[in-house]
Amino acid sequence: MRTVKAYKLAKPDGYDFYTGKTINYRENIGKIVKCPNADSKLGICSRGVIHASKNPNDCFIGAGIPCSAYFVEGKPECGDVEKWGFTEFKVQEEILDLDKLFEWNYTEACNPLNPLRQKRKPTKADIKLLRDWSSARASVRASVGDSVWASVRASVWASVWDSVRDSVWVSVGDSVWAYIGSLFPNIKKWRYNKHRVVEYPYQSCTDLWKRSLVPSFDGRIWQLHSGKNADIVFEISKEELLK
């Protein structure tokens, strides 16, 4: 195959995700790195090749955040539309601006806002946001690539898991999806949203999240949770909320 330019993700310290100790890409900028067990016959997603992708977001198949990113060049010997397999390639440079590279908010995804960091009571403006969210609530996960979504989701869940786990279980799943979706500003069409998108369609839930209020819904009652123990600070029936 012809020589191609591609992207490679590694752990923050520069080492490969696969073993965490075999190849340090940062230490080999300007050099050729080789797969220690090179055997392209094993195919893509095997230990016989080093993986890299044309699209940096496709690199999250087998990687995660936080990470470091590199621009590489070589001749792939196997692969598909998402990933190429190389027995060797040259590490050209490290890419430092990962927000720009991925075209989503990588920085915040690595350090997500914990909405349960403090406890507060909702205002009338918050109740309006809850009403807006009850109308707009829909799946956002399907609009983002699964491998990218899994990496960001793990980071966001880690920020709230202690509060949720140590209290009565709260159905915060939709709120997590809404907050994660807000980290992808370049998405202009959201699945399951029938209206033309002028702005992020789930911003109401994200605004509640940033105001330390997490909504949940059991099919009949809406609740707002706040504080390190995810206490219920407001509840209202679906019918009353929509009046």
CA separation for the pair 241, 106 (Å, rounded): 35
pLDDT at position 201, please? 86
| pLDDT tens digits for range 33-59 | 999 989 988 888 788 999 999 999 999
Amino acid found at 142: A
Percent of the chain with pLDDT over 90: 59
Helix residue ranges, H only, the chain:
98-102, 106-110, 124-136, 146-165, 173-181, 203-210, 238-241
The torsion angles phi and psi of 173, rounded to 5 degrees, stand at -50, -50
pTM of the model: 0.85
The torsion angles phi and psi of 24, rounded to 5 degrees, stand at -105, 110
Peptide bond into 56 cis (omega under 30): no
Structural domains in the chain, sorted by start: 4-100 (3.20.170), 106-241 (no CATH)
CA separation for the pair 200, 184 (Å, rounded): 9
Which residue, among 77, 153, 167, has the nearest Cα to 110 in the 3D structure? 153
Report the alpha-carbon angle 48-46-10, nearest 5: 90
pLDDT at position 141, please? 55
CA separation for the pair 113, 154 (Å, rounded): 13
Report the alpha-carbon angle 178-151-51, nearest 5: 145
pLDDT along the chain (243 residues), means of 10: 93 95 97 93 87 94 94 94 92 98 96 92 97 79 71 85 58 81 81 60 93 91 91 95 88
| pLDDT tens digits for range 93-108 | 999 999 999 999 999 9
Q: Which residues contact 123 (CB under 8 A, 6 or more apart)?
A: none
